[in-house]
């Protein structure tokens, strides 16, 4: 009532009068802003004066609101929650987050699509990013995964080319299946991932809630005695898996996934995922017919052990702070979880923190979304926007000054043997098609029909007949029925396909 009365004629012209329940508006230097509706002018008909510092600052800040979008996974949605451990996994890993049943660890999750821009439609034929940051009592641990258990390529050196071929094209700025399949036709290891991606249930999730997540790579778990075992992580949705058909995908709301996730969290219908782990000893990995560190492969037949459950229960208070500024990285590992020799993972260990130093600045780990709950104590210092207070002269180590950060020998990296000549050479056990065929044959008839329809819709647009035939020959090599049906649906030449597959 008081506010309404405060609007006299003057109030209508100049904005509301200040009331007791309002906060004084200030400039960024803390000085009061007197008028936030009218610029300072040189007389009633005169120009705006440069000395209107409040105006200049407001426009200058606005001009700089955008930061570079992620080079991939630009369109995303963040949510917060908690991970509750269900098993004592200390036999395999000294990571405390996996050690004590009932232990609660806060998490930040960011779901995303991969190839298109920050404001692009969410219903894209694209993997979905499934990045989880655990704020553990040993530092932040990130599983930066996707909703398929495998990936398109197996060596980081191919990643920029893979992305260029799949992102909006250099000339038209539109995604073009001609470029994507030109690339994939030369990369037969993509057959398994493409087969999963073009299904309805896995490839086109009906919501972020109704999809699984996978760490994809193997990681090295290390226990307190230094014993090692390799592990793959799998988030299983308690909501079950649900996909969209091609027709539903084409007509769905452009923001369907964010709307669904946030509406459910706000309504108290919190989505949950159970975290499962597969384990293999180095000797078991060695015996596989394929390379166990090849991220185009699943570890089929290896049992999964449940280690905990994640619940998403909060829409972050601010999109920019918890989604744009969130920085997930496969290199954010904690004692007890180390990298495997997976050649993709090895490249990712470098690329994420590198892009984040560019995208957010060198002190990005001080931002609210990225700041660990534990104290950060080291001699890294300075750089743009350093803001955590530092005291004293001892910005070096070793030192004799008491109270300084000290290294902890108990947390040395695990030791393991490596052998052989340096080389730039593809892996030996490639098996580019077998698991794609197994996956296809395990689908129901309806799922196979949908897969072929979805793939043909994109492959059918490829103008270069040779590229199309090579692509179909890859699926033919995975499974003869799959390739034959796809050749008919995408109008590829079955004789060429068979000849190529025979090679």
Q: Does 270 bind ligand HEM (CB under 6 A)?
A: no
Q: Which two tokens stand for residue 339?
A: 């990298």
Could you say which of 54, 55, 75, 76 contacts ligand HEM (CB under 6 A)? 76
Nearer to ligand HEM among residue 146 and residue 261 (C-beta)? 146
Q: Does 344 bind ligand HEM (CB under 6 A)?
A: yes
d(CA 135, CA 319) in angstroms, rounded, equals: 19
Q: Are 33 and 55 in contact (CB under 8 A)?
A: no
d(CA 342, CA 339) in angstroms, rounded, equals: 8
Q: How many CB atoms lie within 10 A of CB 231?
A: 24
Tell me which stretch binds ligand HEM (CB under 6 A): 15-23, 175-183, 345-353, 421-429.
Answer: 345-353
Q: Does 359 bind ligand HEM (CB under 6 A)?
A: yes
Site string for ligand HEM, 38-57 (x = CB under 6 A): --------------------
Could you say which of 56, 124, 156, 288 contacts ligand HEM (CB under 6 A)? 156
Could you say which of 261, 279, 327, 436 contacts ligand HEM (CB under 6 A)? 327
Q: How far is CA 77 from CA 160, 249, 285, 290, 304, in A?
A: 24, 19, 36, 36, 28
Q: Does 70 bind ligand HEM (CB under 6 A)?
A: yes
Q: How many CB atoms lie within 10 A of CB 338?
A: 16
Whole-number minimum distance, CB 415 to ligand HEM, in Å? 26
Give me the half-sphere count of Cα atoms (radius 13 Å) on the Cβ side of residue 469. Answer: 13
Nearer to ligand HEM among residue 7 and residue 350 (C-beta)? 350
Q: Does 151 bind ligand HEM (CB under 6 A)?
A: yes
Q: Which two tokens stand for residue 115?
A: 């190839």
Give the footprint of ligand HEM on residues 215-244 (CB under 6 A): 216
Q: Does 348 bind ligand HEM (CB under 6 A)?
A: yes
Nearer to ligand HEM among residue 181 and residue 219 (C-beta)? 219
Nearer to ligand HEM among residue 260 and residue 295 (C-beta)? 295
> Measuring CA to CA, which residue among 331, 334, 335 is closest to residue 347?
331
Q: Does 110 bind ligand HEM (CB under 6 A)?
A: yes
Q: Does 476 bind ligand HEM (CB under 6 A)?
A: no
Query: Which residue is listed with tokens 């570890």?
Result: 299
Q: Which two tokens stand for residue 173?
A: 């700025």
Q: Read off φ and ψ for residue 142, nearest 5 degrees.
A: -115, 130
Whole-number minimum distance, CB 127 to ligand HEM, in Å? 7
Q: How far is CA 423 from CA 341, 346, 427, 464, in A?
A: 14, 15, 11, 35
Could you say which of 193, 261, 315, 326 contacts ligand HEM (CB under 6 A)? 326
Q: Does 146 bind ligand HEM (CB under 6 A)?
A: yes
88 conformational bin, left if phi > 0, alpha if psi -120 to 50, beta if neither: beta
Nearer to ligand HEM among residue 191 and residue 448 (C-beta)? 191
Which residues are paired to 237 by β-bridges? 273
Q: Are 239 and 271 in contact (CB under 8 A)?
A: yes
Tell me which H or E stretch contains 284.
helix 282-287
Q: Which residues bind ligand HEM (CB under 6 A)?
A: 70-73, 76, 110, 112, 129, 131, 144-146, 151, 156, 159, 216, 295, 326-328, 344, 347-348, 351-352, 355-356, 359
């Amino acid at each position: 009532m008081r506010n309404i009365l405060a609007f006299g004629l003057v109030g209508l012209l100049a904005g509301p009068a200040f009331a007791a329940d309002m906060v004084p508006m200030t400039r960024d230097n803390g000085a009061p802003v007197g008028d936030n509706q009218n610029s300072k002018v040189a007389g009633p008909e005169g120009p705006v004066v440069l000395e209107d510092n409040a105006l200049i600052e407001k426009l200058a800040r606005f001009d700089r609101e955008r930061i570079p979008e992620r080079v991939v996974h630009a369109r995303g949605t963040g949510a917060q929650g908690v991970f509750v451990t269900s098993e004592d996994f200390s036999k395999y890993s000294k990571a405390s987050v996996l050690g004590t049943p009932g232990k609660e660890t806060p998490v930040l999750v960011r779901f995303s699509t991969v190839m298109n821009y920050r404001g692009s439609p969410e219903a894209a034929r694209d993997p979905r990013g499934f990045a989880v940051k655990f704020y553990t009592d040993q530092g932040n641990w990130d599983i930066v995964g996707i909703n398929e258990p495998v990936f398109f390529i197996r060596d980081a050196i191919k990643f920029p080319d893979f992305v260029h071929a799949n992102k909006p094209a250099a000339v038209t700025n539109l995604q073009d299946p001609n470029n994507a399949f030109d690339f994939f036709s030369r990369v037969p290891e993509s057959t398994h991932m493409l087969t999963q991606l073009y299904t309805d249930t896995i490839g086109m999730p009906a919501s972020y809630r109704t999809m699984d997540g996978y760490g994809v790579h193997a990681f090295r778990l290390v226990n307190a005695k230094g014993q090692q075992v390799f592990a793959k992580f799998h988030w299983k949705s308690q909501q079950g898996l649900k996909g969209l058909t091609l027709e539903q995908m084409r007509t769905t709301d452009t923001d369907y996934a964010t709307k669904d996730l946030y509406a459910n969290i706000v309504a108290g219908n919190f989505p949950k995922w159970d975290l499962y782990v597969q384990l293999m000893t180095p000797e078991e990995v060695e015996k596989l017919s394929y390379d166990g560190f090849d991220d185009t492969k699943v570890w089929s037949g290896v049992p999964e052990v449940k280690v905990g459950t994640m619940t998403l229960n909060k829409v972050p208070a601010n999109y920019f702070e918890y989604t744009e500024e969130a920085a997930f990285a496969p290199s954010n590992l904690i004692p007890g979880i180390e990298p495997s020799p997976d050649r993709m993972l090895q490249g990712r260990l470098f690329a994420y923190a590198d892009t984040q130093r560019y995208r957010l600045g060198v002190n990005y780990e001080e931002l609210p979304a990225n700041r660990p709950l534990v104290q950060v104590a080291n001699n890294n210092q300075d750089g743009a926007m350093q803001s955590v207070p530092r005291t004293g002269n001892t910005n070096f180590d070793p030192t004799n000054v008491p109270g300084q950060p000290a290294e902890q020998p108990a947390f040395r990296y695990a030791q393991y043997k490596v052998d052989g000549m340096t080389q730039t050479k593809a892996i030996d056990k490639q098996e580019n098609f077998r698991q794609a065929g197994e996956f296809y044959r395990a689908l129901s008839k309806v799922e196979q029909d949908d897969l072929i329809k979805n793939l043909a819709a994109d492959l059918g647009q490829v103008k270069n007949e040779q590229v199309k035939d090579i692509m179909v020959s890859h699926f033919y090599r995975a499974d003869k029925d799959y390739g034959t049906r796809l050749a008919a649906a995408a109008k590829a030449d079955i004789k060429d396909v068979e000849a190529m597959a025979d090679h």
